[in-house]
A and B are shown apart, each in its own frame.
Chain A
Amino acid sequence: MPYLVNKLNFSSPRWSVLSRVLAATLGGYILATASSFFISQLLMTSVGKYQAIHIGLMLTFIVYACVAMWVFSVKTATKAWLGLLKLSISFVVATWLLMQFNGVAS
């Protein structure tokens, strides 16, 4: 086991890059999806359900891009993962609150 740990060399920056790549692609996708829920709930009462969902979807690529850039700009990969988690949860909670407020089940 120690041999394997040495061999894999977990302190190497390569692991940090791999972790960030995963955070940006998978984490970014989930966060972008979560953001689309939030945006659609935010707009639902003013522009109607379908248009609200549509706008949320169209903005996902921009959110995704910003997330990916942010993941590669923070100091450590762990910080990036934690940030993604926090933001995703915030979006989901905010969406849930808005849903209560809007009174429409989506």
Chain B
Amino acid sequence: MKDNFRQSMKWFHTWVGLVVGWILFFMFLTGSLGYFYQEITRWMEPERPFVVQQISTEELLDTAQIYLEKHAEGADGWDIMLPNIRDQNLRVGWRHPAEPGKKRGKYKIKVLDVNTGDKVERRATGGGRLLYRMHYRLHYLSTNISYWIVGFCSMLMLLAVITGVVIHKKIFTDFFTFRAKKGLPGWLDIHNVLSVIALPFHFMITYSGLLFFLFTYMVLSTNLQTNEDEYREMRKEIYPRTVHLDKTNQAAKMLDISFLYQQAKTTWQASELSYVEMFAANDVNAHALFVRHETDITYNPDDEITVNAVTGEIILSKHKQYTVAAMIHNGFFSLHEGQFSGPVARWVYFFTGLIGSAMIASGLILWTTKRKPKQMKKTNGPDFGYRLVEQLNIGTIVGLPIAIAMYFYANRLLPLDMANRINWEANVMFISWAILLIYPMFRPAAKAWYEQLQLATLVYIGLPLVNALTTDKHLFNSLNKQDWNLAGFDLTLLLVGGCFAFAAYKFKTLQISKRANNDREIEKQTNRPVQVANESLLPLQQVNKEKC
């Protein structure tokens, strides 16, 4: 392409990064929120009670079993999710038998009030799950199309990461030195630091993201190398599953799950019981699987134990066998999802995700700042392409966070009995984003940036207030009850609002100092005091006219 390899790669890096940068920003940001999807769901279901009292696991299991016996009749299996650090409510789920013509039945999930033993009536909401699913399902498009778009974008991201390393001359020095340079760092410096600081994460998250849909993307290769049966066999080897006994339709009386748990504990260390899965409930084949909170990246057979629910005997199940390749593959999934991480690691994941988003954002901004001086000198004003990139930048980098806040507003403000409420929460988010993408078309860039930063401040600071006005799960109560998940969510919103306020302030002061510099330059050249405002603050059309 260019004279030498590095120059070619520099060109290549610029364009692979630009082409789908906005989708990548969307994927990184919603994906980062995914590390807290349970906490987000908890905030979006304010009908759930505060949980402060300590109840023993046995008592919780009894409560869950009584509810399930009564309400989950005919279900093939039950799930009991115990309160944990991420979700402090007791939840139960069950799958209805499949309707004719369908592969699987409907899955129901209920949150239980441990005091009354009854379910909590919750509002219809997509919760954190819908939000994080967007980072690979893209919401409106069909599954297959989404996966291919996401795959294409991820491939370009992988290329951007690799070419970024190739063109960066001093990668190791940058990694190990802190540059306290005088003056302001340029966008290139910011982009470099954000990229280098979390480089292993950027690579891991992109590559593992591609691995998730390995068989979708590499369908040509698998089709040519395996027939249908072999393909199924191969997938079984890569994603091994424990086989569980099916229902016999011979009813049998089950023991209490709390008793089964005590049985399990005789040979098993349940440091933190995460969930219980009951297979073939109330059947002679009934057996319970106890699973504790996973702490390993690779499969640990000691994380689970199976107990016969009729006799109370411990069933020695065969451990899942992984090949080395499958272990690496599943290890990458673990690293991507971070399910094994405790609270601190989870925050680290979240911040590294945000660093990734910021890296993409700074790269996109860098594209415009590099071209700005030349573009501003054009007699007909900046090119269409330049304007488009600038608008998409404003509408996405600040617009998307605002749209996500609107998703939370919709959760609090849409009527509770609204039809398709879950869809509308997401619609509100995407409509807001669309408006914020269009808005910069009608404003000069500098003003659009400033105004959207101000708007972002407003919506993020306002959200805890709206929460306080519409529910009793506000900051005052949550802090008082020491419900750190709820309080943490509201506090994070305030912090994000504060960051946007700071960004808006910084943006304004930089504009003023730039304007002063410009005026001084002109004064020097013309020897006359200047009163005209900075051009960049005037609408572009006006600037163009003046230039003509």
Contacts and interface: CB of A to CB of B under 8 A. Distances in A.
A73 B218 contact: no
B323 A54 contact: yes
Contacts of B226: 53
Interface stretch (B5-13, B299-307, B387-395): B5-13
Interface in B225-283: 225-226, 230, 233-234, 237-238
A81 B65 CA distance: 65
B387 to A, nearest CB: 20
Given A58-B329, A73-B5, A73-B8, A65 B155 contact: yes
A57 B323 contact: no
Contact of A50 (B8, B221, B234, B328): B234
Query: What interface size band does chain A fall in?
Result: 20 to 34
A51 B323 contact: yes
Interface stretch (A1-9, A32-40, A82-90): A32-40
B225 A106 contact: yes
B214 A50 contact: no
Interface stretch (B24-32, B72-80, B158-166, B466-474): B158-166
Given A50-B234, A51-B325, A65 B159 contact: yes
A54 B159 contact: no
B326 interface: yes
A61 B210 CA distance: 8
B218 A54 contact: no
Contacts of B162: 65, 69
Contacts of A48: 323
21 contacts: A20-B1, A33-B220, A33-B221, A36-B221, A37-B221, A47-B324, A50-B237, A53-B221, A53-B226, A54-B234, A54-B238, A54-B326, A55-B325, A57-B221, A60-B218, A61-B207, A69-B162, A69-B163, A69-B166, A72-B9, A73-B9
A58 B211 contact: yes
Contacts of A69: 9, 12, 159, 162-163, 166
**Nearest 3 A/B pairs, CB to CB:** A50-B234, A73-B8, A36-B221
Contacts of A60: 218, 221
Given A49-B230, A50-B238, 6 more contacts: A40-B225, A47-B325, A60-B218, A69-B9, A69-B163, A74-B1
A56 interface: yes
**B interface secondary structure, majority:** helix
B344 interface: no
Given A58-B328, A58-B329, A73-B9, A37 B323 contact: no
Contacts of A57: 214-215, 218, 221-222
B419 interface: no
Contacts of B155: 61, 64-65
A81 B326 CA distance: 34
A65 B237 CA distance: 27
Interface in B448-504: none
Nearest to A30: B220
Contacts of B225: 36-37, 40, 53, 106
B224 interface: yes
Interface of A: 20, 29, 32-33, 36-37, 40, 47-51, 53-58, 60-61, 64-65, 68-69, 72-74, 106
Contact of A37 (B207, B224, B326): B224
A13 to B, nearest CB: 9
Given A33-B221, A60-B221, A72 B8 contact: yes
A91 B237 CA distance: 27
A106 B163 CA distance: 36
A36 B139 CA distance: 32
Nearest to B7: A73
A36 B223 CA distance: 12
A55 B163 CA distance: 24
A68 B224 CA distance: 23
Nearest to B5: A73
A72 B210 contact: no
A68 B259 CA distance: 60
A59 B155 CA distance: 13
B222 A72 contact: no
A94 to B, nearest CB: 15
Given A65-B158, A106-B225, A54 B220 contact: no
Contacts of A51: 237, 323-326
B199 to A, nearest CB: 15
A40 to B, nearest CB: 7
Nearest to A40: B225
Nearest to B234: A50
B14 to A, nearest CB: 11
Contacts of B159: 65, 68-69
A69 B9 CA distance: 7
Contacts of B233: 50
B1 A73 contact: yes
A74 B8 CA distance: 9
Interface centre among B1, B230, B326 (most CB of A within 10 A): B1
